[in-house]
Amino acid sequence: MSTLSDLVYAQGRSSEADVEWLHRLAGDGQLLADLAFADIVIWVPTADDSFVAVAHTRPGGAATLFYRDIVGDRVRPQWRTQVRDAYDSGRIVDSASPDWFEETPTRVRAVPIVRARGSEQALTIGVLTRHTNLGETRTPSRQQITFNDCADDLFGMISSGEFPDLSAPTAPRRGAPRASDGLVRLDVDGVTTFASPNALSAFNRMGFDDELEGESLSEVTTRILSDKREFDESLPLVVTGRAPWRTDIEARGVTVSLRTIPLRDHGSRIGAIVLCRDVTELRHQEQELITKDATIREIHHRVKNNLQTVASLLRIQARRSHSEEAREALTQAMRRVAAIAVVHDTLSEGLSQTVDFDNVFDRVLKLVAEVAAAPNTRARTRSSGKFGTLPSEYATPLALALTELVTNAVEHGLAGKEGDVEIIAERGAENLAVRVRDTGSGLPEGQVGRGLGTQIVRTLIQGELGGTIDWHTLMGSGTEVTIDIPMRYIERDRG
């Protein structure tokens, strides 16, 4: 399915500002559908004088009219005239009589979507239609009447360019209060004229035992938070209905999220809608995640410190060893431990369990070049291409494998001479290819070594990363090692 942006831009009649406005409006499509107890569809004009649906939201508390998604469809003939009239006139147009859609009686309202342009004249950029299913008509409750009144106020603001409000900060959808979670209607003075049962229950859980209707919401909130010394500075503007912001209030271990939508009539403030939701459990989960993230980072930090301590001990032991063979073995072990420590150091700095492997490898490469070079060997190392971001379970074995390969290239390929070691990374959609080249003496008689380092590399690349590795001598001189790691394993593990 095409996105809203794709569909709007495909018509060739809308600017980037128009698309942003439509995105903001579509983001509140669920609110409008729930308040109106109807399907909400957003239409934009086409080049051939028709309209195409770019967004559709079904109501949460009423029967939907469209069981199949109509996004991307052209406007139907029975709605075209009404939608065209609303677009051309800039006024809300209601259907004169019930309309029939697939044997279901409906009522349609067409609302021009007007984008405010500061001091310039407002511009109609599309049409919003409300499709009410009359097949399940029943006597409306007081809550349904209030919800419909709120929807009508918002439709009026849409037609005058006052909704959505671009001054409202964009906030994460996670935990955002919805109409069904709790709704409070305020008058122009901030006094509650209606509170849904869910909204009243949320305030009761925070310690308010009376009725909300007839009370000033700001005074109610002050009583609830009377023992609080600190609270969000935006709270007074939210509970008086003056700012389109979100905030949380907490009392008695209960956290309630509030979102205010000021209501205006041609620029004059007439009241506000305050949506509220008990997010106590959600906030507890978020706090637990933050605590776990901090714990994991601290673990990585301590592991890194421990590994660096082990590496230091191995270095000291190597220096005191009288056996050249033992000294070499200890030095190699120290280098391997240090390479793993670099990965844990990177993981300790961020919240995610993924690492920028280009940064990790730059640090590993410096470490290897400094430690591996013998007194008569001068190795110039360089890397090109991008490894990209890798999960930690892939970063550690790859860093260790590359450490071994670069070490072998310096110690054996360039032993006692001057030369280059180049690492080339090529990351594609399906695989990560890495080549390690040196300008050394090449493989003796084309044979791959059977030492511990070679066994480690094979185990890491083939066993842990599910990849392939190949050694071959370059034409002229030098050795090239080619590694190919399938990305499908990484994507699968992420999923």
Segment 438-479, tens digit of pLDDT:
887 776 655 566 667 788 888 888 888 888 998 888 766 788
66 and 50 Cβ atoms separated by less than 8 Å: no
DSSP structural state of residue 441: S
Cα distance between residue 128 and residue 154, in whole Å: 12
Cα distance between residue 54 and residue 65, in whole Å: 17
400-438 pLDDT tens trace: 888 888 887 877 777 667 788 888 999 988 889 999 888
Cα distance between residue 297 and residue 350, in whole Å: 7
Q: What is the pLDDT of residue 301?
A: 77
Let me know the angle formed at the C-alpha of 300 by 297 and 303, rounded to the nearest 5 degrees. Answer: 150
Name the one residue in this structure whose structure tokens are 């079904």: 58
Cα distance between residue 474 and residue 104, in whole Å: 76
298 and 222 Cβ atoms separated by less than 8 Å: no
428: exposed, middle or buried (Cβ count in 10 Å: 0-12, 13-18, 19+): exposed
Tokens for 368?
Answer: 């290897």
Cα distance between residue 451 and residue 75, in whole Å: 72
Q: What is the pLDDT of residue 42?
A: 97
Q: What is the pLDDT of residue 450?
A: 64
Cα distance between residue 1 and residue 222, in whole Å: 48
pTM tops 0.75: no
What's the pLDDT band for 94 if we cut at 50, 70, 90? very high
Please check the confidence at residue 360 and state whether its pLDDT lies above 80.
yes
- H/E run at residue 255: strand 254-265
Where do the DSSP E strands lie in 28-135?
Answer: 39-45, 51-57, 93-94, 99-101, 104-117, 120-133
What's the pLDDT band for 276 if we cut at 50, 70, 90? very high
What's the pLDDT band for 480 if we cut at 50, 70, 90? confident
165-188 pLDDT tens trace: 888 877 666 678 999 999 999 999
- H/E run at residue 434: strand 431-438
Query: Average pLDDT for residues 38-55, to the nearest whole number?
Result: 95
Q: What is the pLDDT of residue 372?
A: 52
CB atoms < 10 A from the CB of 216, how many? Answer: 17
- Tell me the average pLDDT of the chain: 85
Q: What is the pLDDT of residue 343?
A: 77
Please check the confidence at residue 391 and state whether its pLDDT lies above 80.
yes
197-244 pLDDT tens trace: 999 999 999 999 999 999 999 999 988 987 766 667 788 889 999 999
CA-derived radius of gyration, the chain: 33
479 and 415 Cβ atoms separated by less than 8 Å: no
Higher-confidence residue of 372 and 245: namely 245
Give the dihedral sign, CA 232/236/240/243: negative
What's the pLDDT band for 337 if we cut at 50, 70, 90? confident
Q: Is the peptide bond before 164 cis (omega within 30 degrees of 0)?
A: yes
Cα distance between residue 328 and residue 407, in whole Å: 12
Cα distance between residue 58 and residue 299, in whole Å: 46
Q: What is the pLDDT of residue 108?
A: 94
Query: By C-alpha distance, which of 484, 321, 253, 485 is closest to 391?
Result: 485
Per DSSP bridges, beta strands 418-427 and 378-385 are parallel
Query: By C-alpha distance, which of 345, 341, 321, 340 is closest to 331?
Result: 321
